[in-house]
Amino acid sequence: MEKDKRKIVRTTAWSPGCGSHGGCGFKLEIENGKLVKVEGDECHPWNQGRVCAKGLALTQYVHHPDRVRHPLKRVGARGENKWQQITWEEAFDICEKKLKEIREKYGAESVIFAQGTGRDIGGPITYLCYAYGSPNWVQIGLAGHSCYTPRQGAMFVTNGNYTMADCSQFLEKRYEDPQWVRPNVIINWAQNPINGCFDGFYGHWIVDCMKRGSKLIVIDPRVTWLASRAEIHLQNRPGTDGAIALGMLHVIINEGLYDKEFVDKWCNGFDKLKERVQQYPPEKMAAIAWIKTEDLIRAARLYAQSKPSAIHWGVPIDGNPQGTVVAQAIAHLWSITGNIDIPGGNVIAKAAFGVTTYPFTSQEMADLYGEEMVKKLNELRIGCDRYPMIKGFRGWVQPDVLLEQLETGKPYKVHGAWIQTSNPIGGQAADPKRHLAALQDLDFIVVVDTFHNPTSVALADIFLPAAALSEKESFRNWWWPLTNMVKAVDSGDTKSDWEINLEMANRLTTGPIRFKTVKDLIDDRLKPAGITYDELAKRGSWYAPKDGSSVPYYRYETGMLRRDGKPGFDTPSGKVELYATRYEEWGLDPLPYFVEASESPVSTPELWAKYPLIFASGRRVPVFFHAEHRMIPWLREIVPDPVIEINPQTAKDLGIEDGEWVLAENNHGSAKFKALLTPTAHPKIVSVGHGWWIPEAKPETPGLFDNWEHNCNQLVPMGTQSKSGFGGGAYKTSLCRVVKIGAKDSK
Amino acid sequence: MPRKALMIDYEYCTGCHACEVACKQEHDYPVGKGGIHMNEIMTTLPNGRLRIDYIPFPTAYCDLCAVRTKKKGETTACAKHCQAQVISYDTVAELAKIMENKAHAVMFTPK
């Protein structure tokens, strides 16, 4: 790369770096070949010039002294943290040899390909996984696969497509576009979106709408800032979102507040739904959820009577017991009120130009890799034999079944793991000690990442260093507009996830080699947009369609949702399926219902007597994304310690002072946190952040960067998955007690 | 030159810390030093509900982004990157006019 004295490169951010689900336009300032500053791109419709704390600290991430910058080979025992620097050629040769050996001896299915959260990885890792021939694309330890996919599954069966709260994100001129109408009411359900850009949604879009007049209903166990600005705040017990949704459906249906014309014309099964919800009167549902009946009724009326109204939701929905059922009930709310694909409602989200980066549906998988291939792989995927929905939707391994299979070797033994952009031991895996023990048995483990972390130190045989977002060529299409990541600086001896996986795929594939370079591959995938990677970069890294099926609104009327071009929704009946025939086909109840978590104040009163607080993990902060960023000085300064939020009265009863280190413990395990006494916490609910390992602590086992001191997932079990296989991870619903362990400010 | 200031519309400040990191990047301030500091204020309202307000405060290290604003004619780094777009940089007189119509706002005149 030429060493310009100073230049500005416009790109779209999508990990590694800011780390999050991405989408923002950045102007990277490069001086003498080095990234010196990040500014928001005012011309980019996604963020319109703003950048969050994580993005603004990008220089400290990219130039961090602890970044791994060369491929490494383990020389000591796993966990000793002893490494030898090797060349990429050596690293690729070792990986090729080992993975081919395993495939020959045990079959391709005996290697799992693991990623973490939804970043610039779903594309490259599925590409490698399928080239190798394995059906096992997985998020290790993500109990019940409780992140977005359960909600996607419910939307797929109900609406045939995915929807999002309409904050004008599918219009190039955004809030200025005359087609857009601001939602009169937004239900912000189980998320604090201002802390990031989760699930392809820039959180502050909600604030943009508030400033333009949208009123809020917030459903959240914590009093968040958004809750404090809401017309109605339902401060519910974690795991009861389904009760609230069913109670609201009861009110809206029985009071006749639904959109009769839309229901008659575009929905199936309304009478069956009406009959079902009679079991869920608001009084009963409010009592279950620890909220006031009148508030639940007011919320239902306000939402239904304020059209257009939108619902924005978060990952705790997935972790509800029967997450796919809860998400279905919530999808029914926007469906029966006719708030789907209208301006200011829940707009249908389709990828710009139909370009796929990260396959979000089975259909996208089939389009990329062929029906036959997808069908064949579905037969052997871990969890498919037990869960028809796992077999029928998207292509993920069921993570709870994986853990059992790692331990028992049945129905087949897993021998290898390719873990990329994921730190299950220090991050997403519930019951991380059980996972560490199970994964130790594997013959060969590759970790691809930017920094060492508990997983790489404990398990990697080979470590491959990944390039940061400013150092790579990639593309992003989640959902709109079509964007790309432009290589602004030299990547040194690191490589992008796409580069690594394309090279490995070309070495391992049993089929023809289609692409020699990443740019060839990207250009091929961009074909539906009629643009190349370089052309996209020249446009400033984004390109918005003027028309076509990804442009709203009312596409169910125009035939833009279905492959056959007929009006209607992309479901078997062509209607919004209030009665889900796909659930029925998968052996599931086609209508929504409510169940308690397997451990809860109601289902296990004896456990509740011993552990009288609900342990809600995964509390987000704006300066970290999951298990990342604790080594970034400007960010760690803002949140230096893992905290547990406790209501002041509860803390007083326990003799706990603000700032004191405490132990949260339960029947599954324990972890240490610093007490943060706050009236935002419900007296019976404590909240902790997740992904806490301490980069400055000792890396080697047994400590693994103090992972076992602070990893909250030690209190969260595996094996609580929903009947569908998707949803039900108890990340928000475990029970615990909190005890004092020491003096103020001492560990 | 009329006096310049920062106005914070704290009806909508979400406490996201972007202003703090934007300031650090702009001035290359190390840990422990920053030109703007976010404060959290909680009030129990007469109806029993909790109100949370966030107010970023320009510290002694705030120079109103002298290089950015004077040499480049841009707004301050905190105003540019404020995710809720609640920080305005302008003259005291102009900001005072805008404040007339704000539900909750505060003006700071750092020097």
A residues 640-679 closer than 8 Å to B (CB): 678-679
The mean per-residue pLDDT over the stretch A712-727 comes to 98
Whether A50 sits inside 8 A of B80 (CB atoms) is: yes
Alpha helices by DSSP H, B28-71: 66
Statement: residue B82 has pLDDT above 90: yes
Ramachandran angles phi, psi of A207, nearest 5°:
-65, -40
Interface contact B80-A52, CB threshold 8 A: no
Q: A690: helix, coil or strand?
A: coil
* Distance of alpha carbon A304 from alpha carbon A327, whole angstroms: 18
> What residues does A114 pair with on adjacent strands?
A138, A419
Local confidence band at A362 (pLDDT 50, 70, 90 cut-offs): confident
Query: Which of A18, A26, A86 is closest to A50 using CA atoms?
Result: A26
Closest partner residue to B80 among A49, A623, A634, by Cβ?
A49
Residue A25's pLDDT band (boundaries 50, 70, 90)?
A: very high
Interchain pair A56, B44: CB under 8 A = no
Q: Does residue A207 belong to the interface with chain B, where contact is any CB pair within 8 Å? A: yes
pLDDT at A360: 86
Residue A118 forms contact with B (CB below 8 Å): no
pLDDT in the model for residue A2: 52
Q: What number of CA atoms fall less than 13 Å from residue A73's CA on the CB side?
A: 13
What sign for the dihedral angle of Cα B29, A628, A42, A25? Answer: positive
pLDDT of residue A727: 97
CA distance A163 to A309: 13
Hey, of A47, A204, A631, which one would you mutate to test binding to chain B, going by the most B CBs within 10 A of its CB? A204
CB contact under 8 A, A52 and B15: no
The 10s digit of each residue's pLDDT in A502-531 is: 999 999 999 999 999 999 999 999 999 999
- Does A38 sit within 8 Å of B51, measured CB to CB? no
A44 lies within 8 A of chain B by CB: no
Chain B residue set in contact with A, beta carbons under 8 Å: 12, 14-18, 20-22, 24-25, 30-32, 42, 44, 49-52, 54, 80-85
Q: Which residue of B has its CA nearest to A224?
A: B52
Disruptive mutation site among A37, A56, A232 for chain B (greatest number of B CBs within 10 Å): A56
Nearest to B16 among A53, A678, A679 (CB): A53
A72 strand-pairing partners: A85, A463
Check CB contact under 8 Å for B81 and A56: yes
Report residue A138: phi and psi, to 5°.
-145, 155
Interchain pair B83, A57: CB under 8 A: no
From the list B15, B20, B25, which residue is nearest A37 (CB)? Answer: B25
Provide Rg for chain A, Cα atoms: 24
- Residues of chain A by 3-state class (helix, strand, coil), percent to 5: 35, 15, 50
Please judge whether A680 and B21 are an interchain contact, meaning their C-beta atoms are less than 8 angstroms apart. no
Confidence of residue A476 (pLDDT cuts 50, 70, 90): very high
Residue of B nearest to A682 (CA): B50
- Quote the pLDDT of residue B100: 97
The proportion of chain A whose per-residue pLDDT surpasses 90, expressed as a percent, equals 94
In order of their start, the domains of chain B are 4-108 (3.30.70.20)
Q: With contacts defined as CB-CB under 8 Å, which chain B residues touch A51?
A: 18, 22, 81
* Averaged pLDDT score across all residues of chain A: 96
Q: Are A467 and A495 in contact (CB under 8 A)?
A: yes
> What single-letter DSSP state applies at residue B87?
E
Q: For residue B12, which residues of chain A lie inside 8 Å, CB to CB?
A: 207, 210-211
Q: Give yes or no for residue A469 having a pLDDT over 60.
A: yes
- Report CA-CA distances (Å) from A662 to A615, A641, A644, A705: 14, 12, 8, 19
Residue A745, phi-psi category: left (phi > 0), alpha (psi -120 to 50), beta (remainder): left
**H or E, element range at A156:** helix A149-159
Residue A444 has pLDDT above 70, yes or no: yes
pLDDT at A1 over 60: no
Residue A523 in tokens: 């250009």
Among chain A residues, the shortest Cα distance to B54 is held by A225
User: In chain B, what residues touch A203 (CB-CB under 8 Å)?
Assistant: 83
Tokens of A151: 């909600």
Q: How confident is the model at residue A747 (pLDDT cuts 50, 70, 90)?
A: very low
Residues of B with Cβ-Cβ distance to A37 under 8 angstroms:
25
Contact B82 A57 (CB under 8 A): no
pLDDT at B34 over 80: yes
Interval A301-355: pLDDT, tens:
999 999 999 999 999 999 999 999 999 999 999 999 999 999 999 999 999 999 9
Q: What is the CA radius of gyration of chain B?
A: 14
* Residue that has been written with the tokens 């799992």 in this structure: A112
For residue B67, pLDDT over 50 is answered with: yes
Closest CA to A662 of A717, A607, A733, A744: A744
DSSP state of A393: S
Three-state DSSP at A73 gives strand
Q: Which residues of A353-366 are buried (b: 16+ CB within 10 A; e: fewer)?
A: bbbbbbbbbbbbbb
Q: Pick the residue of B10, B11, B13, B17 with the most A CBs within 10 A to test the interface with A by mutation.
A: B17
User: Using the beta-carbon criterion (under 8 Å), do B85 and A194 form an inter-chain contact?
Assistant: no
Strand partners, A679: none
How many angstroms from the chain centroid is the CA of residue B22?
11
Chain B residues with CB-CB distance to A638 below 8 A: 17, 20-21
Residue with tokens 């290898």: A416
pLDDT, tens only, A244-281: 999 999 999 999 999 999 999 999 999 999 999 999 99
Is residue A3's pLDDT more than 90?
no
Could you give the count of Cα atoms lying within 13 Å of A269 in the half-sphere of its Cβ? 19
- A145-177 pLDDT, tens digit per residue, is 999 999 999 999 999 999 999 999 999 999 999
pLDDT at position A744 over 60: no
Q: What is the rounded end-to-end Cα distance, in angstroms, of chain B?
A: 14
Edge-first strand order for the sheet with A542-543 is A474-476, A482-485, A542-543
ipTM above 0.95, yes or no: yes
Q: Give the distance from residue A206's alpha carbon to the nearest chain B alpha carbon, in angstroms.
A: 9
pLDDT attached to residue B85: 98
Q: What is the pLDDT of residue A358?
A: 86
Structure confidence at residue A746 (pLDDT): 46
The residue of chain B nearest to residue A36, with distances taken between CA atoms, is B25
Contact A238, A614 (CB under 8 A): yes
Q: Could you give all domains of chain A from N- to C-terminal order, each with its CATH number?
A: 72-145+363-482+492-527 (3.40.50.740), 162-349+561-585 (3.40.228.10), 605-744 (2.40.40.20)
Interaxial angle between packed helices A323-336 and A241-254, expressed in degrees from 0 to 180 and rounded to the nearest 10: 30
Cα distance from A237 to chain B (closest Cα, Å)?
18
Distance, CA of A718 to CA of A399 (rounded, Å): 9
The answer to whether A623 contacts B44, with C-beta atoms less than 8 Å apart, is no
What residues have CB less than 8 Å from A132, skipping those under 6 apart? A99, A103, A108, A111, A113, A505, A508, A509
A45 upstream amide cis, omega within 30 of 0? no
State how far the Cα of A394 lies from the Cα of A361, in Å rounded to an integer: 5
Question: For the residues of A603-639, what is the DSSP string, one character each?
Answer: T-HHHHHHS-EEEE-----TT--TT--TT-HHHHTTS
The verdict on A225 touching B (C-beta cutoff 8 Å) is yes
Residue A63, chain B, CB below 8 Å: the answer is: no
Closest chain A CA to residue B83:
A50
Bridge partners of B90, per DSSP, are B5
Q: Which of A39, A228, A638 sits opposite B52 (nearest CB)?
A: A228
Task: Give the separation between CA A274 and CA A246, rounded to whole angstroms.
Answer: 11
Q: What's residue A365's pLDDT?
A: 87
Give the burial string for A56-93 (b: 16+ CB within 10 Å, else e). bbbbbbbeeeebbebbbebeeebbebebeebebeebbe
Q: Does residue A486 sit at the B interface (CB-CB below 8 Å)?
A: no
Per-residue pLDDT, A409:
98
Q: Using alpha carbons only, what angle is made at residue A475 by residues A424 and A169, rounded to the nearest 5 degrees?
A: 95
DSSP single-letter state for residue A141: T
